[in-house]
Copies of this chain bind each other. A is one copy, B any other.
């Protein structure tokens, strides 16, 4: 039995979604066509609108519809601070903490040589140029605390320190609300080594 071609094309196209295989794609397609055509229509338009209009900020590399994003244009921000994050999602999380008023650079990834992601893919040259613009004094590394995020932070730190910049890293330690009994040993070891006088 042949599926109608509009349906077959949709099922095939849905496989672009991360983690969606042939069975899920088919289930999603039937769901949308049977129960949520307005949603499917809205999603179709949103995808085409986003692919045509979203680009990367020339300064911080985050997603924006303009040449320079709103954050980079915000005159209230401290231009001497530059925070390096892996993704726009991380940037959003940091903004929600209301503890940082500087600017950002979004790598859009992390170093991962096994996946073929090297300095070029994380826009390392642009980061160096951005960090050495004269205004930036301190670079805060806020990549993830995974193996790859740590390696990325280490790589960037080496390069920027050799250019005379102050480089810092988000503090590691016991999470707020954490009970020592249930926190992993590596985190407690780190918290002990980095202990602070009170």
Using a CB–CB cutoff of 8 Å, the interface residues on chain A facing chain B are: 1-7, 9-10, 12-14, 16-18, 26-34, 36-37, 39-51, 53-54, 63-66, 69-71, 87-89, 91-92, 95, 108-109
Bound Cα distance from A70 to B69, whole angstroms: 51
Contact partner of A48 (CB less than 8 A), chosen from B26, B44, B92, B108, is B44
A46 touches B2 (CB 8 A): no
CA–CA, A44 and B9, complex, Å:
11
**Complex alpha-carbon distance, A5 and B70, angstroms:** 12
Interface pair B65/A5, CB less than 8 Å apart: yes
B30 touches A89 (CB 8 A): yes
Quick check: B27 and A18 within 8 Å, CB to CB?
Answer: yes
- Residues of B contacting A1 in the complex (Cβ-Cβ under 8 angstroms): 70-71, 91-92, 95
Q: Which residue of B lies closest to A31 (CB)?
A: B18
The answer to whether B51 touches A37 (Cβ under 8 A) is yes
Closest CB in chain B relative to A97 CB, distance in Å: 11
Of the residues B2, B17, B18, B29, contact of A50 by C-beta under 8 Å: B29
Are A47 and B50 interface neighbours, CB within 8 A? no
Given contacts A27-B89, A49-B10, A50-B40, contact A63 B16 (CB under 8 A): no
CB-based contact A65/B16 at 8 Å: no
**A16-B40 CB under 8 A given contacts A10-B46, A10-B50:** yes
Contact assessment for B54 and A48 in the assembled complex, using a CB-CB cutoff below 8 Å: no
Chain B positions within 8 Å of A66 at CB level: 4
In the complex, are the beta carbons of A3 and B92 less than 8 A apart? Answer: yes
Q: Give the distance in Å from the alpha carbon of A51 to the alpha carbon of B7 in the complex.
A: 9
A196→B87 CA distance, assembly (Å): 62
Q: How far is the CA of A194 from the CA of B64 in the complex (A)?
A: 65
Q: How far is the CB of A64 from chain B (nearest CB, A)?
A: 5
